């Protein structure tokens, strides 16, 4: 019997930093299909472009590429799963470099990749990502650079293939409506504070813009803390504020003070995620086919209606932001 490996699947919402009210985003699965249609070679899906890499040195610590894609039937629509790969310049096998001009690498990525982020990190790290509607289900592993690296590569490729300037894409956590329920059980929120890093940059989203401008107004500031107080703060506004941030990267901490005296520190337990056991390949790496099957099953779970009549995603993979509470 093969060894079982634990993997965490995390739900990420896809958003765009757009100031154009007429902008209509494509479903993320369509974006990925467009990338493979218009960028047929691995080299076309590689950052930085292979022909721009100088032999004298590398500006980036890691290089990124998208290797392969699979389609899966979901209620008559098709979700896609793609392989996001990273490697350190100068440490990639010669056969991989030679195959960048192919449609996909011919090596067995499920055996090569893995990435525990430690001393045993593989030459190439592989992360599988299911894309559908306006969400992604992500295989959370260390060593791939996180969702910021995925954003960087997707935005680079989209900048090449889109006829019109496409706003930058970013990922954020979609927060379970259990957070609103917890606030209500505590008699409502009397205080709410957020600490954000200076990584938030320029953004037109309401709360990100607010914190970004506050941080920029004090030269030399590396982070900013904003607090709201009142007898009963609106829980919908609190959830909206949290969801605008990539909470694992640029939102350092949050605190919600409830009217019953309890305090909610952090929102990790309110994120949508699931741990799964995957049979291993050679005792070290997850079986790719089984992992992708589990990702699809988790997507179906998120589309299922719960006892209250609420479901996280509709049949097309779009987030249901109105609960039945």
User: What angle is formed at CA 161 by the lines to CA 155 and CA 162, rounded to 5 degrees?
Assistant: 80
Same domain, 100 and 162: yes
The whole-number pLDDT of residue 92 equals 62
**Residue 120 pLDDT > 50, yes or no?**
no
Residue 8 lies in a domain: yes
Residue 44 lies in a domain: yes
**Residue 79 pLDDT > 60, yes or no?**
yes
Distance in angstroms (rounded) separating the CA atoms of residues 321 and 175: 10
Same domain, 112 and 254: no
The whole-number pLDDT of residue 54 equals 61
Same domain, 179 and 168: no
The least confident of 15-29, 76-90, 125-139, 179-193 is 15-29
How many Cβ atoms are within 10 Å of 45's Cβ, its own excluded? 28
The whole-number pLDDT of residue 3 equals 83
Please choose, from the candidates 7, 13, 2, the residue with its C-alpha nearest in 3D space to the C-alpha of residue 275: 7
Residue 77 lies in a domain: yes
How many Cβ atoms are within 10 Å of 81's Cβ, its own excluded? 25
**Residue 113 pLDDT > 80, yes or no?**
no
Same domain, 194 and 235: yes
Mean predicted lDDT score pLDDT of the chain = 83
Same domain, 219 and 282: no
Query: Where do the DSSP E strands lie in the chain?
Result: 4-16, 46-47, 63-74, 77-87, 124-132, 135-140, 169-173, 189-197, 223-233, 251-258, 263-265, 273-281, 285-286
The whole-number pLDDT of residue 110 equals 41
The whole-number pLDDT of residue 109 equals 45
- The two structure tokens encoding residue 31: 């974006």
Distance in angstroms (rounded) separating the CA atoms of residues 66 and 207: 32
CA distances (Å), 162 to each of 14, 83, 166, 167, 242, in order?
Answer: 18, 22, 7, 10, 30
237-263 burial by CB neighbour count: b if 16+ within 10 A, else e?
ebbebbbbbbbbbbbeebebbbeeeee
272-283 burial by CB neighbour count: b if 16+ within 10 A, else e?
bbbebebebbee
Rg of the chain in Å (alpha carbons): 21
Domain boundaries, position 298? 4-172+272-303
Tens of pLDDT along 205-264?
A: 788 788 888 888 888 888 889 999 998 999 989 988 888 776 556 678 889 999 999 999
Helix (H) or strand (E) holding 35: helix 28-38
Residue 310 lies in a domain: no
- The two structure tokens encoding residue 247: 């909470």
- The two structure tokens encoding residue 101: 């001009």
Same domain, 162 and 206: no
pLDDT class of 183 with cuts at 50, 70, 90:
very high
Same domain, 123 and 164: yes
* Domain count along the chain: 2
- Distant-in-sequence, close-in-space partners of 81: CB < 8 Å, separation ≥ 6: 69, 70, 72, 128, 129, 130, 131, 292, 295, 296
Same domain, 164 and 190: no
Same domain, 202 and 254: yes
The whole-number pLDDT of residue 1 equals 59
Same domain, 231 and 122: no
Residue 80 lies in a domain: yes
Residue 95 lies in a domain: yes
Residue 308 lies in a domain: no
Distance in angstroms (rounded) separating the CA atoms of residues 274 and 285: 19
Mean pLDDT of 281-293: 85
Residue 92 lies in a domain: yes
Phi then psi dihedrals of residue 299, to 5 deg: -60, -45
Prediction pTM value: 0.83
Same domain, 181 and 253: yes
- Distant-in-sequence, close-in-space partners of 46: CB < 8 Å, separation ≥ 6: 63, 64, 65, 100
**Residue 122 pLDDT > 60, yes or no?**
no
Same domain, 17 and 117: yes
- The two structure tokens encoding residue 35: 């990338």
Distance in angstroms (rounded) separating the CA atoms of residues 205 and 192: 19
């Amino acid at each position: 019997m093969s060894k079982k490996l634990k993997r965490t699947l995390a739900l990420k919402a896809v958003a765009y930093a757009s100031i154009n009210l007429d902008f209509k985003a494509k479903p993320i699965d369509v974006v990925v299909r467009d990338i493979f249609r218009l960028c047929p070679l691995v080299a076309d899906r590689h950052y930085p472009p292979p022909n721009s890499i100088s032999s004298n040195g590398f500006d980036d610590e890691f290089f990124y590429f998208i290797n392969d894609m699979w389609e899966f039937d979901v209620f008559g629509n098709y979700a896609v799963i793609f392989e996001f790969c990273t490697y350190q310049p100068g440490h990639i096998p010669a056969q991989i470099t030679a195959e960048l001009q192919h449609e996909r690498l011919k090596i067995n990525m499920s055996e090569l990749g893995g990435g525990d982020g430690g001393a045993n990190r593989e030459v190439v790290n592989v992360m599988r990502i299911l894309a559908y509607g306006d969400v992604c289900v992500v295989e959370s592993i260390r060593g791939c650079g996180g969702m910021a690296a995925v954003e960087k590569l997707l935005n680079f490729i989209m900048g090449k293939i889109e006829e019109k300037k496409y706003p930058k894409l970013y990922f954020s956590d979609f927060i379970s409506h259990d957070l609103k329920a917890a606030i209500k059980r505590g008699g409502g929120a009397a205080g709410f504070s957020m600490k954000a890093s200076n990584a938030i940059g320029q953004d037109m989203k309401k709360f990100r813009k607010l914190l970004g401008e506050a941080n920029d107004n004090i030269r030399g500031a590396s982070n900013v803390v904003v607090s709201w107080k009142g007898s009963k703060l609106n829980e919908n506004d609190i959830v909206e504020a949290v969801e605008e941030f990539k909470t694992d990267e640029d939102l350092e901490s949050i605190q919600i003070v409830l009217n019953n005296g309890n305090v909610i520190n952090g929102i990790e337990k309110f994120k949508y995620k699931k741990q799964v056991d995957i049979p291993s390949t050679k005792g070290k790496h997850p079986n790719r086919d089984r992992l992708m099957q589990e990702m699809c099953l988790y997507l179906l779970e998120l589309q299922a209606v719960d006892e209250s009549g609420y479901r996280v995603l509709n049949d097309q993979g779009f987030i249901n932001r109105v609960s039945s509470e």
